[in-house]
Amino acid sequence: MNNDPLSLRTLFLLDPSVTFLNHGSFGATPIPVFEKYQEWQRMLEKEPVEFLGRKASEYLAEARQAIAPELGCDPDDFTFVINATTGMNVVIHSLPLTAQDEVLTTNHEYGAIDKTWQFYARQKGFTIVRARFSLPVSSPDLWIEELWSQVTPRTRVISISHITSPTALVFPVEKVIERARNAGILTLIDGAHSPGQIPVNLRKLGADFYTGNFHKWVCAPKGAGFLYVRPEYHSLIQPLIVSWGYDNPNSQRSPFLDHTEWWGTRDISAFLTVPEAYQFLRTHHWDKVRERCHQQLKETCNAFRERLGVIPLSADQDTWNAQMISLQIPRLSPRSIPEVSRRLWEDFRIEVPLVEWEDSVLIRISFQGYNTPEDYKKLEHALGEILVAPIT
């Protein structure tokens, strides 16, 4: 099976006139996976009562069974959620935090998750502490010490990303989880970008709570994510939407699945398509594809640094990056983001996000199987053109 970029590109529905360097935001789905998704949708519409009323739970259990080996966990220890935002909300909503408690997070987290924490901190009165790190990040041990310097006797939860959104860094979460467990601190990991991009073995990782997306790097249809909860915390999970699974004394399952599976009528086809998405990755030797993308990332980082003067946030891309990198553009101020974004899109038809982070401007570049070296040359050329003139 061919897995070179041009062959893979023909398998995606992406607009060929766009240089698409933003797989990270919402992913993209290959045609065979999308067709399977539509097949599930057709099946649902053919007999909605049979599908949703009688079969849904069985179909979902079969899908969890097929996906569990990919996540390295038992099928009953994770549930489908439509996205990582929902997974994080379910856990944050369920945690019994009080005004005496602190939650440790970082200044690299996804904005909507920061807001979720803020919302509950206002309701319950706990304190949010944000760790910061020396940049460029270099030694994982130093990073962990910097995180740990913010732990206090009041720290109840550490909530961090596995791969960060604005800065695209792979955080060394394994060691944090181990240390937190020894200190009696709960860990909540936001793995929105992890499945499909880096290995995720939940049993080995040992996090108490871990949520992730299938619709980004596993290339499943939009609206497919998961929430994993360690068995000892299943009974802690409250429904974010109260429905039939609540207060179900005759149930044979853990309250975790009962509280999260049925949230009223909805289309579960994206969930059921996830096994097909994993199959697509296997068929196309995705380990090799990832390696190639990572190599391209390093080459692009070096070329952009030399020619455009951008600054990587990591000293060593093999340790800190997988298939995304954020580069700081020192010549730009955050005020220029709308204009530079407009020019990249309107003048060059390049889809790539510019992010304001800690008063600086970052460009976050994704490397996916369908991207060619020419895609990055186009971006280099476009940025070169844009940066020659001062932008206010």
Tokens of 286: 């995705």
Assigned token pair, 301: 């980082």
- Binding mask 101-130 vs ligand PLP (x if CB under 6 A, - otherwise)? ---------x--x-----------------
Structure tokens at 355: 């992010």
Contacts of 347 (CB under 8 A, 6+ apart): 382, 385
Q: How far is the CB of 251 from ligand PLP (least distance, A)?
A: 28
Q: How far apart are CA 5 and CA 370, in angstroms?
A: 4
Q: How far is the CB of 85 from ligand PLP (least distance, A)?
A: 3
Q: Which stretch binds ligand PLP (CB under 6 A): 52-60, 82-90, 120-128, 303-311?
A: 82-90
Which one, 104 or 382, has the nearer CB to ligand PLP? 104
Binders in 25-44 for ligand PLP, by CB under 6 A? 25
3-state secondary structure string across 333-369: CHHHHHHHHHHHHHCCCEECCEEEECCEEEEEEECCC
DSSP class of 315? S
* Polymer length in residues for the chain: 392
DSSP code of residue 314: B
Smallest gap from Cβ 26 to ligand PLP, in A, equals 8
Q: 10 Å Cβ neighbour count for 140?
A: 17
* Closer by beta carbon to ligand PLP, 223 or else 255: 223
Part in contact with ligand PLP (CB under 6 A); list of ranges 46-54, 79-87, 178-186, 323-331: 79-87
**Residues 193 to 212: which contact ligand PLP by CB under 6 A?**
193
Between 89 and 360, name the residue whose CB sits nearer to ligand PLP: 89
Burial of 250 (0-12, 13-18, 19+ CB in 10 A): exposed
Using rule CB under 6 A, residue 364 touches ligand PLP:
no
Q: Does 83 bind ligand PLP (CB under 6 A)?
A: yes
Q: How far are the Cα atoms of 117, 150, 219 from residue 130, in angstroms, in the given order? A: 11, 8, 32
Which residue, 112 or 315, has its beta carbon nearer to ligand PLP?
112
Identified binder of ligand PLP from the candidate list 192, 297, 327, 340, rule CB under 6 A: 192
Cα separation of 316 and 338, whole Å?
A: 30
Q: Which residue of 41, 116, 165, 187 would you call a contact of ligand PLP, by CB under 6 A?
A: 165
- Give the one residue of 102, 190, 208, 258 binding ligand PLP; rule: CB under 6 A: 190
CA distance 75 to 206: 16
Instruction: Based on the shown chain and the rule CB under 6 A, indicate whether residue 213 belongs to the binding site for ligand PLP.
Output: yes
Contact mark string toward ligand PLP, 274..303, x via CB under 6 A: ------------------------------
d(CA 12, CA 211): 26
SS (H, E, C) 254-298: CHHHHHHCCCCCCCCHHHHHHHHHHHHHHHCCHHHHHHHHHHHHH
Pick the piece of the chain touching ligand PLP (CB under 6 A) from 33-41, 81-89, 169-177, 371-379: 81-89
* Shortest CB 193 distance to ligand PLP, Å: 6
Smaller CB separation from ligand PLP, 171 or 280? 171
Stretch binding ligand PLP (CB under 6 A), from 77-85, 229-237, 320-328, 354-362: 77-85
Query: What is the spatial distance between Cα 290 and Cα 154, in angstroms, rounded to a whole number?
Result: 40
Binding residues for ligand PLP, how many (CB under 6 A)? 12
Binding residues for ligand PLP, rule: CB under 6 A, are 25, 83-85, 110, 113, 161, 165, 190, 192-193, 213
